[in-house]
């Protein structure tokens, strides 16, 4: 079990390292002065000189790469040349907002999508099943930024019920929650359909397995068979799916944060990209890559922990 | 009839499939007397498992009972409300399935599953655990309390089948249906499981419906034998009658083909020529006519009724007409 | 795999099957209709637009929808309906060309990974996994920061994002074909690796991949619009749907019809392609599952 966890984490770290090397070599491969590329044409000569010095841009490339890794290992993502603040600090300030948004979006999607999928599997071909099938294809395919903009138009502009901008007053949890409603709805909408489809498919498969027949042969009540015998197994594929989908969620979060002017990693990267502020973009990107890369081993380990069949093979 | 735990009369079942209807069981009569082990033998596809599932009322959704009656534990099974039926399962009626590898829930521990099936009992949790551990001990699983914490994937196939047996015996059922429970096991395990069943019967005083295509196993533990062929009961009777004086040509062929009975070394294994008929269109003739070595004109024209040959022994064959004892 | 193909009875042609399916499945029919509308607009845009989508007309600015301007006008007096029709051209051409290029690169790399030496396979897989671990939009923003926003950057990003997926699928299929008895038999007869790939593997891979790739069109169209919305994609004055949405968002209080109009073609396109793709996949599922 421990070995398995280490293997999976090792692969994730390898992927992170490769991604960093790719980012690093992208900078070197682009023709032109790296300092100008990193900070954009508007940067002053002084800023360019400072970044050249800080990143050792005049050193030989292997030395630069070593320094680059050394600093990241120490948790130092560099300095934002425009605000003079450490990038690590900026990222850490923004990260919780994104995590809360993703958790809220997935949370409501799971709360609706999983029971819906379950119900659709048990009452196959019922009206709710067919309705869910059509609606889920629709919600999965419509881009989240279109949903977000329409939500704003309807609930904030036309009806004036919900606030448009920001994440709410610091410390005022109610205000923050109200500000979270629309972004979380936009982010999660596609996931309602997605989760219900996955749960439906795997539920149908599990309900046909022999052990369900055994449970019935012992006269267990049907709700109990569904809840403790089938759903426990049918839910497992969604965990892997969620890990794979973290990337898509982060992408959607970028739009949602940009549209609702909500602080977070996504908005941070968009703003920095618009200013061509590469150190901040790089810090944000490395954080999201790390989140994504770590989600895989975490889900693998979680499944090994939840599924005795996998555990027995380790 | 009070001597019977289950009495099946003239039961016919139809499956509606996408390719049209299939008739897996037709006009089946089977009695399971209290305290006896009744064996059901037949080739694959002869309707053995369908019969078992019909008794449990766990037939798949496309199955329709087209005729007949089933009396189970003094109740009319086919008219029993679903809730009452569920009440019988796992208490007075239990079933052990063919494939031990997939019959247990993989994500619940053995203990959880054994507690789950006692959900009706008013006993305390500790008592239920003790009962589960006892049942495991009874089927020869050492260190039972520790094993309760483990999951099915941690046990071998033979162990899992023992666990299934232990689960089915928790509530001391009056009728236990064992569907090919030794098929997936190797010879040594099979002998152990058969031994176990015999002991358990003596202990529980319940009846067992033992479904198998292994004639050796059936001869070893059963009191009565029912021979199914392509969805019809061709012969049934006391075990020694069936094995020593088989009357139906199919039973005779079956007994001769049993590898355990081939005493002399021969180069060729005996076979029954031909294939099991297609159950989509049922001929009006004797169902075995196409493969029967002793087929007569009448066999191709009429379906023979059951003929009583001896005490509790009957067969469906035109050859036997008028031989009544 | 080859055996089962030989045993399969002669199936009705794919087209016949498709037509039969369409007749039975109203959603597929809806999908086909929507896709047909988008493709028609994309091809004939310059001839069917009621107004010049680029022509400024300040006196007509911010007109709400009316019979003369179906979707109203924007802050520069341009007819939004015409811009949206024109936008389908951008969406489709960017979508189809990038997916085409990504397919070519992905299939080549996948064949190399699947058929080549083990170390090269491992290296390429690590590379694919690493590219894959960048969330698409964030990858787009990074590249746009480095190269500056332009159509080329946008296309580069989409190709970069799509290639690993195709390469992985090709690799998996190649590996299973390579180890099939039938290819081993041909190899033992002395066929060159090049011939095996070109004649025996490639044709088996391309068909299913084309279907999968065509199902990626909506997500690529959405990615293009999204990145353009964030200011990283197609620069003005080109009437990309993402641009119309972004300009509309800035005027959401004054001219709410702009965002409504900007979202509609995206919804039509994604829904159309998805509904169509879903039933296409259902129809071809056994084949897809066998090869992928």
Question: Rounded to whole angstroms, how far apart are CA atoms A85 and A88?
Answer: 9
| Bridge partners (DSSP) listed for residue B22 | B15
Q: What is the mean pLDDT of residues A170-198?
A: 84
Asked whether residue A136 is domain-assigned, the answer is yes
Neighboring chains of A (3 or more beta-carbon pairs < 8 A):
B, C
Q: Do A248 and C135 touch (CB under 8 A)?
A: yes
The string of pLDDT tens digits covering residues A231-259 is 888 888 888 888 878 888 888 899 889 88
Q: Do B87 and A312 touch (CB under 8 A)?
A: no
Q: Do A153 and C270 touch (CB under 8 A)?
A: no
From the CA of C281, how many Å to the nearest CA of chain A?
Answer: 13
Q: How many CB atoms lie within 10 A of CB B324?
A: 10
pLDDT band at C159 (very low <50, low <70, confident <90, very high): very high
Does A210 reach chain B within 8 Å, measured CB to CB? yes
Does B99 reach chain A within 8 Å, measured CB to CB? yes
The string of pLDDT tens digits covering residues A95-110 is 999 999 999 999 999 9
Q: Has residue A73 got a pLDDT over 70? A: yes
Neighboring chains of B (3 or more beta-carbon pairs < 8 A):
A
The string of pLDDT tens digits covering residues C89-104 is 888 888 889 999 999 9
Between B189 and A184, whose confidence is greater? A184
Searching chain A, which residue's CA lies closest to the CA of residue B89?
A219
Max intra-chain CA distance, chain A:
80
Chain A positions touching B94 (Cβ under 8 A) are: 217-218
Which helix (H) or strand (E) segment holds residue B67: the answer is strand B63-72
Tell which residue, B259, B256, B253, B255, has the closest CA to residue B274: B253
Number of domains in chain A: 1
Does A123 reach chain B within 8 Å, measured CB to CB? no
- For residue A112, the model assigns a pLDDT of 92
The tokens for C292 are 């992928």
Between B150 and A60, whose confidence is greater? B150
Between C253 and B57, whose confidence is greater? B57
Class of domain B4-92+173-273: alpha beta
Between A4 and B324, whose confidence is greater? A4
Torsion sign over Cα A61, A65, A70, A76: positive
* Percentage of chain C exceeding pLDDT 70: 88
The tokens for B275 are 């294939």
- For residue B267, the model assigns a pLDDT of 59
DSSP A278-308: HHHHHHHHHHHHHHHHHHHHHHHHHHHHH-H
Query: Under a CB-based contact definition with an 8 Å cutoff, are residues C242 and C233 in contact?
Result: yes
Query: Under a CB-based contact definition with an 8 Å cutoff, are residues B222 and B37 in contact?
Result: yes
Does A305 reach chain B within 8 Å, measured CB to CB? no
pLDDT band at C3 (very low <50, low <70, confident <90, very high): very low
- For residue B210, the model assigns a pLDDT of 93
**CATH number, domain containing residue A187:** 1.10.3720.10
Q: Has residue B217 got a pLDDT over 70? A: yes
Q: What is the mean pLDDT of residues B247-262?
A: 79
pLDDT band at C147 (very low <50, low <70, confident <90, very high): confident
- For residue C15, the model assigns a pLDDT of 67
> Which residues numbered 164-203 in A keep a CB inside 8 Å of some CB on C?
none
3-state secondary structure of B178: strand
Does A309 reach chain B within 8 Å, measured CB to CB? yes
Q: Do chains B and C touch (3 or more CB pairs under 8 A)?
A: no
Q: Has residue B49 got a pLDDT over 80? A: yes
The string of pLDDT tens digits covering residues C103-117 is 999 999 998 888 888
Question: Rounded to whole angstroms, how far apart are CA atoms C123 and A21?
Answer: 14
From the CA of A12, how many Å to the nearest CA of chain B?
Answer: 27
Print the domain residue range for A128.
Answer: 90-268
3-state secondary structure of B94: strand
What does the domain layout of chain B look like in residue ranges?
A: 4-92+173-273, 105-170
Q: Do A220 and B58 touch (CB under 8 A)?
A: no
- For residue C4, the model assigns a pLDDT of 38
Searching chain C, which residue's CA lies closest to the CA of residue A244?
C133
Q: Has residue B324 got a pLDDT over 80? A: no
Of A124-133, A257-266, C282-291, minimum mean pLDDT range:
C282-291
| Bridge partners (DSSP) listed for residue B227 | B41, B235
Query: Under a CB-based contact definition with an 8 Å cutoff, are residues B277 and B230 in contact?
Result: yes
Q: How many CB atoms lie within 10 A of CB A168?
A: 17
Question: Rounded to whole angstroms, how far apart are CA atoms A244 and A249?
Answer: 10
pLDDT band at C72 (very low <50, low <70, confident <90, very high): confident
Chain A positions touching B97 (Cβ under 8 A) are: 210, 213-214, 217
Chain B positions touching A121 (Cβ under 8 A) are: none
Does A214 reach chain B within 8 Å, measured CB to CB? yes
Tell which residue, C135, A1, A23, has the closest CA to residue A9: A1
Nearest by CB to residue C133, choosing from A19, A145, A274, is A19
Q: Has residue C223 got a pLDDT over 90? A: no
DSSP 8-class letter at B289:
G
- For residue B262, the model assigns a pLDDT of 57
Chain A positions touching C267 (Cβ under 8 A) are: 142, 146
Tell which residue, B312, B253, B320, has the closest CA to residue B36: B312
Q: Is C158 exposed, middle or buried (0-12, 13-18, 19+ CB in 10 A)?
A: buried
The string of pLDDT tens digits covering residues B97-121 is 888 888 999 999 999 999 998 888 8
Does B164 reach chain A within 8 Å, measured CB to CB? yes
Q: How open is the CA angle A200-A203-A205, to the nearest 5 degrees?
A: 115
Q: What are phi and psi of B24, to 5 degrees?
A: -75, -25
pLDDT band at B301 (very low <50, low <70, confident <90, very high): confident
Q: What is the mean pLDDT of residues A123-152?
A: 83
Searching chain A, which residue's CA lies closest to the CA of residue B112?
A228
The string of pLDDT tens digits covering residues A193-209 is 889 988 998 998 898 88
**Site of tokens 């991949």:** C209
- For residue C18, the model assigns a pLDDT of 67
Q: Do B106 and A233 touch (CB under 8 A)?
A: yes
Nearest by CB to residue B103, choosing from A211, A219, A307, is A211
The tokens for C24 are 């039975």
Chain A positions touching B154 (Cβ under 8 A) are: 308, 312
pLDDT band at A9 (very low <50, low <70, confident <90, very high): confident
Average pLDDT, chain B: 85
Asked whether residue A78 is domain-assigned, the answer is no
Asked whether residue A17 is domain-assigned, the answer is no
Question: Rounded to whole angstroms, how far apart are CA atoms C233 and A17?
Answer: 28
Of A264-278, B271-285, C78-92, C238-252, minimum mean pLDDT range:
B271-285
Does B95 reach chain A within 8 Å, measured CB to CB? yes
pLDDT band at A123 (very low <50, low <70, confident <90, very high): confident
The string of pLDDT tens digits covering residues C7-24 is 334 445 666 766 776 677
DSSP 8-class letter at A157:
I
Q: Has residue A128 got a pLDDT over 90? A: no
Which of C170-186 are b and which e, b meaning 16 or more Cβ less than 10 Å from the residue's Cβ?
A: bbbbbebbbebeebeee
Q: Has residue B2 got a pLDDT over 70? A: no
Q: What are phi and psi of B290, to 5 degrees?
A: -65, -25
Alpha helices in chain B (DSSP H): 48-56, 82-88, 100-103, 110-116, 125-138, 144-147, 157-169, 187-204, 215-221, 239-244, 249-257, 297-301
- For residue B252, the model assigns a pLDDT of 87
Between C16 and A287, whose confidence is greater? A287
In the CATH hierarchy, which fold is given to the domain comprising C43-53+65-284?
MetI-like fold (1.10.3720)
Nearest by CB to residue A254, choosing from C138, C147, C245, is C138
Q: Do A214 and B104 touch (CB under 8 A)?
A: yes
Q: What is the mean pLDDT of residues C50-74?
A: 72
Does A140 reach chain C within 8 Å, measured CB to CB? yes
Question: Rounded to whole angstroms, how far apart are CA atoms B43 and B257?
Answer: 12
Neighboring chains of C (3 or more beta-carbon pairs < 8 A):
A
> Which residues numbered 53-82 in A keep a CB inside 8 Å of some CB on B?
none
Q: Do B91 and A209 touch (CB under 8 A)?
A: no
Q: What is the mean pLDDT of residues C176-203?
A: 80
- For residue C12, the model assigns a pLDDT of 54
Q: Most A CBs within 10 Å: which of B61, B88, B106, as the mutation test of the A interface?
A: B106
Q: How many A/C residue pairs have CB atoms within 8 Å?
A: 136
pLDDT band at C289 (very low <50, low <70, confident <90, very high): very low
Q: Do B89 and A216 touch (CB under 8 A)?
A: yes
- For residue B216, the model assigns a pLDDT of 85
């Amino acid at each position: 079990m421990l070995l398995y966890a280490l293997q999976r984490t090792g692969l994730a770290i390898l992927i992170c390292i490769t991604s960093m090397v790719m980012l690093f070599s992208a900078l070197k491969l682009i023709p032109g002065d790296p300092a100008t590329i990193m900070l954009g044409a508007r940067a002053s000569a002084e800023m360019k000189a400072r970044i050249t010095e800080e990143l050792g841009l005049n050193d030989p490339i292997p030395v630069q790469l070593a320094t680059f890794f050394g600093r990241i290992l120490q948790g130092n993502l560099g300095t934002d040349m425009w605000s003079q603040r450490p990038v690590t600090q900026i990222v850490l300030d923004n990260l919780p907002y994104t995590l809360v948004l993703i958790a809220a979006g997935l949370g409501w999607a799971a709360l609706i999508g999983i029971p819906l999928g379950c119900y659709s599997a048990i009452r196959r071909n019922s009206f709710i099943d067919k309705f869910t099938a059509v609606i889920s294809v629709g919600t999965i395919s419509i881009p989240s930024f279109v949903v977000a903009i329409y939500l704003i138009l309807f609930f904030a502009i036309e009806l004036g019920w919900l606030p448009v901008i920001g994440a709410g007053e610091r410390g005022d949890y109610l205000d923050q929650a109200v500000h979270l409603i629309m972004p979380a709805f936009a982010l999660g909408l596609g996931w309602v359909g997605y989760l219900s489809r996955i749960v439906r498919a795997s539920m149908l498969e599990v309900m046909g397995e022999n052990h369900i027949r055994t449970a019935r042969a012992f006269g267990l009540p049907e709700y109990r068979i569904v809840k403790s015998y089938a759903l426990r197994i049918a839910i497992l594929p969604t965990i892997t799916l969620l890990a794979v989908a973290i990337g898509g969620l982060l992408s959607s979060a970028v739009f949602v944060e940009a549209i609702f002017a909500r602080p977070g990693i996504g908005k941070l990267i968009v703003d920095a990209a618009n200013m061509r502020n590469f150190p901040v973009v790089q810090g944000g990107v490395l954080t999201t890559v790390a989140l994504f890369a770590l989600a895989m081993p975490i889900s693998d380990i979680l499944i090994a922990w939840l599924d005795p069949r996998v555990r027995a093979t380790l | 009839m009070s001597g019977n735990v289950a009495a099946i009369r003239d039961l016919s079942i139809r499956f509606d499939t996408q390719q049209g209807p299939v008739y897996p069981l037709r006009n089946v009569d089977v009695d399971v007397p209290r305290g006896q082990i009744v064996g059901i033998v037949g080739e694959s596809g002869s309707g053995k498992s369908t019969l078992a599932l019909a008794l449990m009322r766990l037939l798949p959704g496309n199955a329709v009972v087209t005729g007949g009656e089933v009396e189970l534990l003094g109740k009319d099974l086919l008219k029993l409300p679903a809730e009452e039926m569920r009440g019988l399962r796992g208490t007075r009626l239990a079933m052990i399935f063919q494939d031990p590898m997939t019959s247990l829930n993989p994500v619940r521990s053995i203990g959880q599953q054994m507690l789950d099936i006692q959900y009706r009992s008013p006993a305390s949790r500790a008592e239920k655990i003790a009962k589960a551990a006892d049942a495991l001990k009874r089927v020869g699983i050492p260190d039972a309390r520790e094993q309760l914490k483990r999951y099915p994937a941690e046990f071998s196939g033979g162990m899992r089948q023992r666990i299934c047996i232990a689960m089915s015996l928790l509530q001391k059922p009056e009728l236990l249906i064992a569907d090919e429970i030794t098929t997936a096991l190797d010879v040594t395990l099979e002998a152990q499981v058969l031994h176990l069943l015999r002991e358990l019967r003596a202990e529980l005083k319940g009846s067992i419906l033992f479904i198998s295509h292994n004639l050796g196993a059936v001869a070893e533990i059963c009191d009565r034998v029912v021979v199914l062929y392509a969805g019809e009961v061709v012969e049934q009777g006391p075990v020694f009658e069936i094995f020593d004086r088989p009357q139906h040509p199919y039973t005779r062929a079956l007994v001769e083909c049993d590898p355990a009975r081939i005493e002399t070394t021969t180069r060729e294994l005996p076979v029954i020529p031909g294939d099991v008929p297609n159950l989509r269109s049922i001929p009006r003739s004797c169902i075995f006519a196409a493969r029967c070595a002793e087929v007569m004109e009448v066999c191709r024209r009429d379906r023979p009724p059951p003929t009583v040959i001896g005490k509790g022994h009957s067969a469906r064959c035109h050859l036997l007409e008028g031989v009544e004892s | 795999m080859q055996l089962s193909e030989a045993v399969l009875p002669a199936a009705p042609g794919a087209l016949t099957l498709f037509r039969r399916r369409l007749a039975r499945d109203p959603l597929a029919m809806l999908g086909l209709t929507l896709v047909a509308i988008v493709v028609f607009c994309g091809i004939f845009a310059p001839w069917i637009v009621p107004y010049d989508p680029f022509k400024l007309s300040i006196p007509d600015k911010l007109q709400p929808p009316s019979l003369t301007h179906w979707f109203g006008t924007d802050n520069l007096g341009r007819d939004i309906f015409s811009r949206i029709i024109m936008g389908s051209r951008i969406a489709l051409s960017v979508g189809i060309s990038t997916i085409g290029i990504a397919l070519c690169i992905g299939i080549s790399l996948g064949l190399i990974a699947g058929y080549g030496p083990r170390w090269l396979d491992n290296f390429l897989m690590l590379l694919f996994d690493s590219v894959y671990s960048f969330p698409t939009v964030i990858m787009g923003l990074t590249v746009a920061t480095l190269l500056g926003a332009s159509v080329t950057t946008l296309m580069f990003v989409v190709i970069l994002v799509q290639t690993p997926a195709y390469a992985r699928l090709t690799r998996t299929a190649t590996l299973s074909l390579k180890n099939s008895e039938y290819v081993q038999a041909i190899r033992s007869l002395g066929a060159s690796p090049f011939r095996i790939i070109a004649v025996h593997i490639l044709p088996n891979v391309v068909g299913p991949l084309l279907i999968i790739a065509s199902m990626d069109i909506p997500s690529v169209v959405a990615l293009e619009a999204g990145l353009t919305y964030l200011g990283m994609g197609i620069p003005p004055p080109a009437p990309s749907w993402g641009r119309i949405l972004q300009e509309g968002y800035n005027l959401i209080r004054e001219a709410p019809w702009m965002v409504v109009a900007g979202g509609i073609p995206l919804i039509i396109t994604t829904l159309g392609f998805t509904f169509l793709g879903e039933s296409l996949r259902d129809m071809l599922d056994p084949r897809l599952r066998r090869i992928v």
